[in-house]
Amino acid sequence: MEEVSARFVAQKISKARWRPLPAAALQPPDIFATGSWDNEDNRLALWAVGELGSGEYLGEPQLLCDIGHDGDVMDMQFLDQERIVVASSTGSVTVFRHHQNNQTLSVNQRWEKAHCHVDQDTSCGGAACTGVICNNPEIVTVGEDGRINLFRADQKDAVRTIDNADSSTLHAVTFLRTTEILTVNSIGQLKIWDFRQQRNEPSQIFSLTGERVPLHCVDRHPNQQHIVATGGQDGMLSIWDIRQGTMPVSLLNAHEAEMWEVHFHPSNPDHLFTCSEDGSLWHWDTSTDISEKPSFLHQGGRSTAYLSHNTINQSVVCAWLNNDPTKDRMEITNLIPNQTLSVNSLDVLGPCLVYGTDAEAIYVNRQLFS
């Protein structure tokens, strides 16, 4: 049975991220960061969970330190073990440093107007920075103004800015390769941008079939770089193969409302996690070794959808691409028993899952695959 610890934190959580583990680490992650939104005084906080060094077991996540943040936390990512990059609804991007000796957070660097509307005289309101992705030391940000910025940590000015990269809002960004990024926007397009090229045009554009439903999140398969998953406003999960065609390979009807985040598990990419405005968090499992997991089949009290008919010898080709519901076996589990408000964010690392909701609570599950 899984063990979920919860904590009410008196602020709506917009993002939750595990601190990355050092390369050779064996133990599960124990520190995560959360960002809040919709408060007059938003905060970025660091929490500890699991066992402290002294071996004493912490039931609930414990607050290590926090710091005020100007504007809603729109997106967040750890740059390295000590620095966190946070995107704000005011259009600024801030790098915070966590001082481990005295457990405090401080501002390391800030780019104030990373995103803003061009014509300041006629513009109406600010432009939020909606997505941030890091590949130390490079930081890429996208925003409501349709701009893409490439920053380098410790450099004051942007290395590269693509103005008006998109006529609509860019919702999320992720790295495809070290010099290429993927963005999704609010007219249902997935674009690849190559920073080696000087022109300010995407190198490829993919779009959904049918209705141009806005896409909210994107993630790339950790090992196979041509496989990309996106989540849309209608809750649909799309899997794309960017080597071929301009349309998604499979469309899976998932949630009943906007899908906010999609994550491939970094070390077990047969597992995918999505969370949504309808308050559910789904675990998609295409690994075929069902015999090793009898627990999944006998769980009561969770809704388990089971799409399969017969088992196939899975070849080396990725299960996600072969995803034909009539042939392949995929298990989808809702990890939240009684859902109320939106689950805004999730993160998985190793056996641990953390997610934050609009009901002002954070939940940690440290035994995801038991």
Question: Residue 331 CB, nearest distance to another protein (Å)?
Answer: 27
Q: Which helix (H) or strand (E) holds 44?
A: strand 42-51
**Per-residue three-class SS string for 239-275:** EEECCCCCCCCEEEECCCCCEEEEEECCCCCCEEEEE
Rounded CA separation 25/66 (Å): 26
- Pick between residue 74 and residue 272 the one whose CB is nearest to another protein: 74
- Which residues does 172 contact at the CB level (< 8 Å), separation at least 6? 75, 130, 131, 142, 183, 184, 215, 216, 217, 218
- Pick between residue 122 and residue 291 the one whose CB is nearest to another protein: 122
Question: Residue 294 CB, nearest distance to another protein (Å)?
Answer: 31
- Pick between residue 123 and residue 295 the one whose CB is nearest to another protein: 123
- Pick between residue 72 and residue 285 the one whose CB is nearest to another protein: 72
Rounded CA separation 180/362 (Å): 33
Q: Which residues bind another protein (CB under 8 A)?
A: 8, 10-12, 37-40, 72, 74, 89, 117-119, 122-125, 127-128, 130, 144-146, 166-169, 185-189, 191, 202, 205, 207-208, 210-212, 214, 233, 257-258, 277, 338, 340-342, 358-361
- Pick between residue 214 and residue 350 the one whose CB is nearest to another protein: 214
Rounded CA separation 370/355 (Å): 18
Amino acid at 74: M
Q: Are 65 and 46 in contact (CB under 8 A)?
A: yes
Rounded CA separation 339/319 (Å): 29
Question: Residue 220 CB, nearest distance to another protein (Å)?
Answer: 22
Question: Residue 38 CB, nearest distance to another protein (Å)?
Answer: 5
Give the SS3 label for residue 43. Answer: strand
- Pick between residue 154 and residue 211 the one whose CB is nearest to another protein: 211
Question: Residue 35 CB, nearest distance to another protein (Å)?
Answer: 13
Q: Distances from the Cα of 279 to the Cαs of 15, 72, 341, in angstroms?
A: 15, 20, 5
Q: Are 172 and 130 in contact (CB under 8 A)?
A: yes
- Pick between residue 6 and residue 307 the one whose CB is nearest to another protein: 6
Question: Residue 6 CB, nearest distance to another protein (Å)?
Answer: 10
Question: Residue 192 CB, nearest distance to another protein (Å)?
Answer: 13
Preceding amide of 29 cis, omega within 30: no
Q: Distances from the Cα of 356 to the Cαs of 33, 67, 181, 261, in angstroms?
A: 11, 18, 27, 11
Nearest Cα residue to 220 out of 168, 272, 162? 272
Question: Residue 125 CB, nearest distance to another protein (Å)?
Answer: 6
**Eight-state DSSP code of residue 313:** -
Question: Residue 187 CB, nearest distance to another protein (Å)?
Answer: 5
Rounded CA separation 269/262 (Å): 12
- Pick between residue 294 and residue 337 the one whose CB is nearest to another protein: 337
- Pick between residue 191 and residue 263 the one whose CB is nearest to another protein: 191
Residues forming a β-bridge with 231: 217, 237
Number of CB atoms found within 10 A of residue 314's CB: 16
- Pick between residue 1 and residue 10 the one whose CB is nearest to another protein: 10
Give the SS3 label for residue 62. Answer: strand
Question: Residue 86 CB, nearest distance to another protein (Å)?
Answer: 15
